[in-house]
């Protein structure tokens, strides 16, 4: 049996955004029956990475159920958009990094779930390594 | 059921928080009580001994253990009071104090909310509530040396009071021809520690008054990339300045907790010298003053604060004065992201 | 332009730097699979735990991988046991006040405590007595041996350390510490793999 496939794209094929820009994305799910999906969550979030414990915050969140669609088929292309905040900006530091991504998580009726992340850059801040050199 | 009004606490789900200041006051009172009880009991024992009302059937080991326990009370109480006092003196910007203390970490605290417009950028309310004399704002220091001096003085007084009492009694016994060697053995380490405490206090006093406090005023706050700000430095004290430097510094800080392992690591990722002075003679009653400009580079990362990670900006004043060791004082600032069209000059 | 901006212009704007494979998100317990010593396996441990009625302690020094092993074990234990897990942070001397209600509500038959040595003697005794009375298993991690049957003693070898580093650096052949560098780190930091991985983080960043 094939593994379900999540296709997630940022409209306009952009990777770089500025605060206040509208981030528009679309996703669809393939290689799975239309009655096997329990729910799909899409979120725009940032998290920290580095030598410390991870922190995370959700900027945009949407949860869809089969009842939210016309015919109960959640696999079809779905679009969403959100206006990006002023902070925190993407940052590649030495022991602290801040990453932004879009995450789509599909929950199946068997109890499992899979997710897919699409990274993007918010702002144009120099990396911490430039500072430190 | 009677509902008691608890004006000093807030409900957080099933938990209650208290006012941080009252919490610290409670802690300080507890330690002070330990100190007072230990000190009073030791004096009482000494008085009993001097008046010859020492119970004859108490073995020396029992007496020794009793003195040890009371000394522990005095030590724990004294150090606890000093610790509490020093913490009150630190600025609200020191989020890292929670992780570094390795105490029960209460993550639900009276944190100031970040503005909706700039999530996770620390608020600058605590930095802008003190107007400057010459420029718009006077920046608070990360840790005030005055609190440290007060705490050291307190410890010095209490400890030396005990040491002197022991010494007087012990010497008196020796002069009377009936030496108490147990008491003498206890008195010696007390005396040595007391002398060290006096030496430390005098050194700290001379450093604080000799070097004096440092004041930094800034023309505007918060700071924005690409903008220039005027800084006014005032360095008080009687000592001549061998060298004094102001730098704009950016620090990354990350805290990791796993089991008993709690570690906070800092990394300096940016440092730019703003002002350098050397060979400045002291003038009686006149502080050393100077002005300079600091330009925040474009495209730098803004100040950031989350539960376990932070990016902190600060003005750091480091100097050498007289014959004293080098000192460094830090004044936190908040850098906002570059918001074109909304920047403040 | 001030010096900093000249420096910035010389480098690529907005460098999209690769993630550091030694970041805590890749190295914390649960992210890495535990590597068993020779003659040991997950199945053996599960069998032994069953034979011991769900009682056992995982012993090892700081940063040796006890919590990682526990995370690996718990994934399999969930299939056969109704377990309740407590992870203790630094200076936490007691379990949550309502721990007995939690065990009762979830009808637990196995209690897992990560960091048992942090509990006070009194809290430890209460927990052990409660589990014995209720016929519930108790699986713990600890730095020093307690009066519980030993399930596994964690002592990471240089070979295991090398395997862990190799796993984290998969696909990055051009950036790999030499055997000598790794040996030097292992010699200095010993069985504390956590510290070793933190040191490798710094190495990777440079």
For residue C33, being part of any structural domain is answered with no
Residues near B44 by beta carbon (within 8 Å), at least 6 away in sequence: none
C10 touches chain A (CB under 8 A): no
pLDDT of residue B284: 67
Domain-embedded: residue C29: no
Residue of C nearest to B103 (CA): C91
Neighbours of chain C (3+ CB pairs under 8 A): A, B
Q: Range of C101's domain?
A: 42-153
Are both C141 and C163 inside the same structural domain? no
Task: Work out the angle between the directed axes of helices C179-189 and C193-205 (0-180°, nearest 10).
Answer: 140
State the DSSP string of B44-57: HHHHHHHTT---TT
On average, the pLDDT of chain C sits at 85
DSSP conformational letter for B283: B
Does residue C71 sit in the same domain as residue C145?
A: yes
According to CATH, the superfamily of the domain at A5-45+54-89+100-124 is Macroglobulin (MG2) domain (2.60.40.1930)
C12 to chain B, closest Cα gap in Å: 13
Query: Which element (helix H / strand E) includes C183?
Result: helix C179-189
Strand partners, B278: B243
Determine, for residues C201 and A53 on separate chains, whether the beta-carbon distance falls below 8 Å: no
Q: What is the CATH number of the domain that holds C82?
A: 3.40.50.300
Nearest one of C101, A131, A38 to B311, comparing CA atoms? A131
The CA distance from C89 to A53, in Å, is 13
Task: At C19, list the tokens.
Answer: 């993630």
In a domain, C169, yes or no: yes
The residue with greater pLDDT, C79 or A45, is A45
pLDDT > 80? residue A28: yes
pLDDT in the model for residue B85: 62
The CB density around residue B96, as the number of other CB atoms within 10 Å, is 16
pLDDT at B76 over 90: no
- Angstroms from C81 CA to nearest CA on chain B: 24
- Cα–Cα distance measured from residue C105 to residue C107, given in angstroms and rounded to the nearest whole number: 5
Cβ contacts of C25 on chain A, cutoff 8 Å: 49, 54
Domain ranges of chain A: 5-45+54-89+100-124
- Of C109, C129, C153, the residue that ends a domain is C153
**In a domain? residue C102:** yes
Residues of A with CB under 8 A from a CB of B: 19, 48, 50-55, 57, 85-89, 91, 93-96, 98, 123-126, 128-129, 131-132
DSSP string, C47-109: HHHHHTTTEEEEE--TTSSHHHHHHHHHHHHHHH--EEEEE--TT--S--TTHHHHHHHTT-S
End-to-end CA distance of chain B: 59
The pLDDT of residue B144 is 61
Kindly report the three-state secondary structure assignment for every residue of B198-244: HHHHHHHHHHHHHHCCEEEEECCCCECCCCEEEEEEEECCCCCEEEE
Does B222 sit behind a cis peptide bond, omega within 30 degrees of 0 on the bond before it?
Answer: yes
Residue B343 has pLDDT above 70, yes or no: no
Which stretch of A88-92, B34-38, B60-64, B70-74 has the lowest confidence by average pLDDT?
B60-64
Interstrand relation of B228-235 and C110-114 (parallel, antiparallel or unpaired): unpaired
- Specify the pLDDT at position A130: 63
Contact C126, C43 (CB under 8 A): no
Contacts 24+ apart (CB under 8 A), B55-64: B60/B182, B63/B182, B64/B182
C168 and C146 share one domain: no
What value, to the nearest 5°, has the Cα angle with vertex B267 and ends B230 and B313? 20
Q: Quick one: C201 and C141 in the same domain?
A: no
| pLDDT tens track for B251-277 | 999 999 887 778 899 999 999 999 998
Structure tokens at A109: 């009726």
Q: Are residues C198 and C104 in the same domain?
A: no
Check A121 against C198: CB less than 8 A apart: no
Measured CA to CA, the distance from residue C184 to residue B27 in angstroms comes to 46
- Average pLDDT, integer, range B38-49: 80
- What are the helix (H) ranges across chain B? 20-50, 60-88, 96-101, 125-128, 145-175, 181-211
**pLDDT above 70: percentage of residues in chain B:** 74
- pLDDT, tens digit (0-9, with 9 covering 90-100), for A108-122: 888 888 999 999 999
Q: Does C31 touch chain A (CB under 8 A)?
A: no
Are the Cβ atoms of A95 and B267 closer than 8 angstroms? yes
Q: Where among C153, C176, C196 does a domain terminate?
A: C153
Whether residue C148 sits in one domain with residue C52: yes
**Residues B301, B186 contacting (CB under 8 angstroms):** no
Does residue C163 register a pLDDT over 70? yes
Is the pTM of the predicted complex or chain greater than 0.90?
Answer: no
Q: Which two tokens stand for residue A83?
A: 């206006």
């Amino acid at each position: 049996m094939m593994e379900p496939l999540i296709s997630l794209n940022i409209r306009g094929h952009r990777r770089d955004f500025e605060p206040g820009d509208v981030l528009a994305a679309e996703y669809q799910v393939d290689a799975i029956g239309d009655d096997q999906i329990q729910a799909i969550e899409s979120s725009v979030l940032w998290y920290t990475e580095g030598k410390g414990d991870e922190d995370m915050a959700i900027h945009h969140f949407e949860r869809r159920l089969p009842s939210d669609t016309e015919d109960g088929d959640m696999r079809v292309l779905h679009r969403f958009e959100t206006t990006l905040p002023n902070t925190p900006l993407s940052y590649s530091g030495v022991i602290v990094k801040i990453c932004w991504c879009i995450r789509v998580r599909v929950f199946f009726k068997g109890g499992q779930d899979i997710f897919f992340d699409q990274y993007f850059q918010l702002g144009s801040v120099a990396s911490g390594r430039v500072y430190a050199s | 059921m009677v509902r008691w009004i608890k004006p000093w606490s807030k409900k957080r789900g099933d938990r209650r928080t208290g006012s941080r200041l009252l919490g610290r006051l409670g802690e300080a009172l507890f330690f002070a009580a330990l100190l007072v009880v230990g000190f009073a009991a030791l004096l009482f024992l000494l008085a009993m001994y001097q008046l010859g009302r020492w119970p004859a059937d108490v073995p020396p080991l029992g007496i020794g253990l009793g003195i040890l326990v009371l000394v522990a009370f005095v030590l724990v109480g004294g150090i606890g009071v000093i610790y509490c006092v020093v913490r009150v003196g630190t600025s609200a910007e020191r989020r890292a104090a929670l992780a570094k203390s390795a105490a029960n970490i209460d993550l639900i605290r009276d944190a100031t909310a970040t503005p909706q417009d700039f999530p996770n950028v620390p608020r600058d309310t605590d930095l802008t509530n003190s107007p400057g004399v010459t420029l718009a704002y006077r920046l608070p220091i990360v840790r005030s040396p005055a609190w440290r001096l007060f705490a050291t003085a307190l410890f010095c007084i209490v400890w030396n009071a005990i040491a002197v009492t022991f010494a007087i009694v012990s010497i008196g016994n020796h002069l009377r021809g009936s030496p108490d060697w147990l008491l003498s053995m206890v008195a010696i380490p007390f005396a040595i520690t007391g002398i060290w405490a006096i030496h430390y206090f005098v050194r700290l006093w001379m450093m604080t008054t000799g070097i004096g406090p440092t004041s930094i005023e800034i023309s505007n706050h918060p700071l924005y990339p690409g903008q220039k700000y005027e800084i006014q430095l005032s360095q008080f004290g009687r000592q001549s300045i061998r060298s004094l430097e102001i730098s704009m510094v950016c620090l990354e800080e990350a805290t990791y907790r796993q089991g008993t392992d709690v570690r906070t690591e800092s990394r300096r990722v940016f440092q730019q010298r703003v002002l350098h002075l050397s060979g400045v003679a002291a003038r009686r009653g006149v502080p050393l003053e100077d002005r300079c400009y600091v330009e925040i580079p474009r495209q730098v990362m803004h100040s950031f604060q989350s539960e376990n990670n932070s990016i902190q900006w600060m003005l750091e004043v480091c100097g050498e004065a007289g014959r004293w060791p080098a000192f460094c004082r830090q004044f936190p600032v908040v850098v906002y992201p570059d918001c074109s069209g909304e920047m403040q000059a | 332009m001030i010096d900093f901006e000249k420096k910035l212009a010389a480098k690529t704007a907005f460098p999209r730097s690769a993630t550091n494979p030694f970041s805590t998100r890749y190295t914390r317990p649960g992210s890495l699979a535990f590597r068993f010593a020779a003659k040991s396996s997950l199945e053996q441990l599960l069998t032994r735990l069953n034979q011991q009625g769900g009682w056992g302690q995982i012993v090892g020094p700081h940063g040796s991988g006890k919590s990682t092993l526990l995370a690996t074990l718990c994934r399999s234990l969930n299939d056969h046991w109704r377990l309740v897990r407590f992870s203790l942070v630094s200076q936490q001397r007691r379990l949550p006040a309502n721990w007995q209600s939690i065990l009762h509500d979830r009808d637990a038959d196995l209690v897992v405590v990560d960091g048992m040595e942090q509990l006070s003697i009194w809290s430890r005794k209460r927990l052990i007595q409660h589990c014995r009375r209720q016929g519930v298993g108790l699986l713990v991690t600890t730095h020093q041996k307690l009066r519980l049957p030993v399930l596994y003693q964690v002592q990471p070898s240089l070979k295991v350390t090398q395997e862990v580093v190799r796993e984290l650096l998969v696909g990055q052949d051009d950036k790999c510490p030499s055997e000598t560098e790794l040996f030097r780190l292992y010699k200095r930091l010993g069985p504390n793999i956590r510290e070793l991985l933190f040191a490798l983080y710094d190495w990777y960043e440079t």
